[in-house]
Amino acid sequence: MTVTEPQQVLELYRAAVYAKDVDALVALYAEDVRVFDMWGTWVYEGATAWRGMVAGWFGSLGSERVRVEMAEVQSTQTGDMALLEAFVTYAGLSAQGQELRSMHNRLTLVCRRGQEGWQIIHEHSSSPADFQTGKVMLTR
C-alpha cells in the first residue's frame, strides 16, 4: 500500500500494531530508518534491525493485543518531509478485549515522501524521567 498523506502513517501504525502484523508495521519504515526506542536499546539502525525488535515485541504478546491511541497530534509538512508528533497510549488487551495495563509516551516521527509514498525515516519515543528517582513516568 502506498501512503499518500503523512497522517495515514499514524492510522496504519495503529492498525498494524493491533493486528500484530510485523510486515505491515515495518513497511511504514524506510530501509535507512533510525529509531530511538524507549526499551533497552539506544538506537536501531535500519529496517532489518527494527524488524527484529517488532517481531520480538509482537511475539512476546501471546494472545494479547495492543491498542494504540494518539492524542494532541501535530503535523508539519514541507515538500517531501513531514514531522508528526503525538502523545501515545499503548494499552495491553486480553484476548477478550479487556484492558490489562497501559502506558503513555511521546512519539515523534519524521517521514519522507519517496517512490513508495510516505515512510518513516526517524522515530523517537520517550517518556519523562523523575529527576529525583530517575524512574521513567509511564502515565501522563
Can you give the pLDDT at residue 3?
Answer: 83
| pLDDT of 8 strictly over 90 | yes
CATH class, domain 8-126, is alpha beta
Backbone angles phi, psi at 42, to 5 degrees: -65, -40
Can you give the pLDDT at residue 138?
Answer: 81
Can you give the pLDDT at residue 95?
Answer: 93
Question: Domain segments of the chain: what residues?
Answer: 8-126
Q: Is 74 buried (19+), middle (13-18) or exposed (0-12) by CB count in 10 A?
A: exposed
